[in-house]
Structure formats: structure tokens, C-alpha cells
Amino acid sequence: MRREVKNLLAFLTTIPVGMDENCLVDAASYMYLFPLVGAFIGLLAGVFAWSLSHLLDPLIVGVLTWGFILLISGVNHADGLLDFGDGLVYQGTSEEKIKVMHDQQTGVGGFALGLVTFLATALCIAGLDQKLVIQSLVVCETCAKLGLVFMARLGKSVHRGMNTYFVNAMHDRHRNIRLIAALSITFGIALPLLGLAGFIAVIACLTTASVLTVLSNRNFGGVTGDVFGASNELSRLNSLLTILVVSKWV
């Protein structure tokens, strides 16, 4: 189990724990633990934000914390979001859209989607209650990783690639057990930390993953690694927005 946990951390973070040839296989087999890794990332980001909030303006804290999350998580998911935006707005066949996503250049669609998502994420972090910033970031990062698990369960691979390991793992005979485990972990974190806001944040991330899966099926014929990256970024954002809105009314 030690090797598997190490490979999970190596796959989802930039923490130098080392990565071996079993990384993708282990990450896919233990995908139900993604929310736990997300909670760990959120805890680090939350402590970072809470510490800075005593010294800096909330807007600066929001931007720096967003940068810290990118530093810890790597930019693969963010890059996937940009590619997804390019493919989504391109007018053409599914094959042409996928080709556009694989292009090294970022187009207008990716730039626009990335700009809005990144700015909104930083502003949402800036708007969090200082007393709840750690809890909120733990929950939103947990939800972001649950979205990946849920998408793998709902989606189908367009072509063989990195995403295939995860889609296959969430469609084998243990698929429902893995999904239930991931949901249980996420609700077990979100409910004690944020109550109703946490519960609705989880629903928001599941809704985001579902909508993105439908869009991907229509535009690309299934999901790709870039779509998974977009799901991570947009699930985080929607969870943050949900926490902000519900917290103001509860």
C-alpha cells in the first residue's frame, strides 16, 4: 500500500516522492482515494491562505493561494482546461476538435475559458471567510478530485491514452465499490467541515462532471485527458462558488 499511496501523490501532485513504472496503474486502481489527496492539497493551500490573510489584502491572498495550488498540483489540469476550451469552440468534426486540443498553441477559446476560470477561482478564494478558509479549500479540492472519479465512471475514452487507465478502472467489476468509496470519503470530509455548504458543494461538483461528460460526448465522442483536466478546474471553481453563496445565506 505504501507504493500505491506514493504513486497517487506522484500522479496528483508535484511533491517529489518518486514515481515508478506502476504509477498509472496504481493511480487508476486506487482512484477512489483521489478525494483524500485532494483534501491534503486543500489543507496545504488552506494553511497557506490563512497564514497570508494576517499580512496581506484578500485579493493578493486569493491570487497567491491560487498560484500555490498550481505549484502543488502542477499545471497539467490547467493546461487541459485551455485545450478543452479550444476544442469546444472549434467548428468541425470530433476528430478535428480533438486535433485542435492536441495543438501546442492556445487559441481564443482556451484563453477565454482559462482567463475566466482562473480569475474567478482567485476571486472566490479571496472572498472566503478567514475563519473558514482552511475548511473551504479542503472541501473544494476534495470535490475537484471526486469530479475526476465521477467522470471516469460516466465517460468513455475517445482513444487510448492516459485517461484510458482511469476509465477502464471505473468500468470494471469493482466500479461501483470504487465510486461509493470516493463518495463516502468526500461526504465524510465535506459534511463535518462545512455542513450544508459542504453537501451542496459536493452536488455541484458531481453536476459539473456530468455536464462536462455530456458536452464531451457530443463534441469529441467521449472523454480525453484534457477533459479530465477541465473537470478538475471547473469542479473546484463551482464548489468554491457554492460555498460562497451558501455561506452567505446560512
pTM: 0.92
Domain boundaries, the chain: 2-14+21-249
pLDDT computed for residue 22 by the predictor: 67
DSSP string, 174-236: THHHHHHHHHHHHHHHHHHHHTHHHHHHHHHHHHHHHHHHHHHHHHHSSB-HHHHHHHHHHHH
pLDDT computed for residue 169 by the predictor: 77
Residue 33: count other Cβ atoms within 10 Å of its Cβ. 20
Output phi, psi for 224, to 5 deg: -130, 175
pLDDT computed for residue 67 by the predictor: 93
pLDDT computed for residue 102 by the predictor: 77
pLDDT computed for residue 140 by the predictor: 94
Residue 106: count other Cβ atoms within 10 Å of its Cβ. 14
pLDDT computed for residue 250 by the predictor: 65
How would you write the pLDDT of the chain (250 residues) with one tens digit per residue? 567 777 778 888 888 776 666 677 777 788 899 999 999 999 999 999 999 998 999 999 999 999 999 999 888 888 888 888 888 887 878 787 788 777 777 778 888 988 999 999 999 999 998 889 999 999 999 999 999 999 988 888 777 767 788 888 788 888 889 899 999 999 999 999 999 999 999 999 999 999 999 988 888 888 888 888 889 999 999 999 999 999 877 6
Question: Is residue 114 within 8 Å of 82, Cβ to Cβ?
Answer: yes
